[in-house]
Structure 1
């Protein structure tokens, strides 16, 4: 992947991260961007992104927010836990060793959690956004012919995907697909799963 144009995939991961926030009127702008990016990848991505955008336009925001809360927020049991530790830790613990490990990777890459972000470091939004960040840093280093930085960010990205996002993201996406009550979140789960499967095939 280091020798290919990673910009479309970077934009795809960044857009997906935003889609896991509670939906609002600005979500449509993100979906337009996702569709543009998906068209650059292949027809399957384009078709799923188009269904995602169309479903957003046809469902009331309040219904989307209710489904978002059911899946990811609560107050009752979550139908698609958005935290990596739930999938990676014995006993489905929150804030376990894997959470600490992922935060250490953020710091290794020169980042720390924003004070405005009120979720654990292994929330799906944070991990998708971090992967997009790593792709950006790796590509930027390549453009500058900085081989040391290219290797560094490539190594962090591969380790992060192998040990964290790639380990639990597809199972999470499957739970979104099977538990969503709106077509929007069904299609979001599908697009997320397709994206992670594509990266998994490239990393493997």
Structure 2
């Protein structure tokens, strides 16, 4: 195999890794449980062999949705546009900045995705897109300007707040992908 083919293959694998991480941050479903239990996600959540879908859904809602003041809001603007005392509002200036990135690379938001553009999953998907289509320098710039500005605080809050090993492992895997 040529060096160019090796690089393309590695880029495709990294892009797929970002896509898998993105999927894991969304509402759990049967397909995610099947992937975990089959071992397909061992690189992301090693050692987790069984999970309970209802328990995962409950924990996902408690951590990220609410009903009131979830401990780990999965939105960049909440962390970046915050005052010193706590969380900021959604749809702040950092949200508009990340949307400019998407538009600059010809992407819009999926109308079937009901969440905000600065959601952790959306930013990970975009990072995967950049790996597959742009230079490594472009990916690094995006990571520096967006995920690396807030993932640390977000991921640490997940580790502290969760009772589910899946979410602790997912936080660790996301940190490795964004910071290494």
Per the normalisation by structure 2, the TM-score is 0.84
| 1:83 Cα deviation after fit | 0.2
User: More deviation in 8-17 or 122-131?
Assistant: 8-17
Deviations 1:42-87 (A, max 9, x none): xxxxxx6322x42xx2x32111111000111111111111000111
Does 1:7 pair with 2:3?
no
| 1:194 Cα deviation after fit | 2.2
State the distance in 2 between where 1:90 and 1:179 align.
20
Equivalent residues of 2:77, 2:91 under 8 A apart: yes
RMSD value over aligned CA atoms? 2.1
Equivalenced residues, count: 168
**Which of 53, 56, 64 pairs up with 1:61?**
53
Equivalent residues of 1:174, 1:193 under 8 A apart: no
Q: Which runs of 5+ in 2 are unaligned?
A: 1-5
State the distance in 1 between where 2:93 and 2:24 align.
27
Aligned to 1:96: 92
**Which of 152, 174, 180 pairs up with 1:192?**
174
Aligned to 1:125: 121
State the distance in 2 between where 1:183 and 1:118 align.
27
Aligned to 1:25: 30
**1 or 2, which has the higher helix percentage?**
1
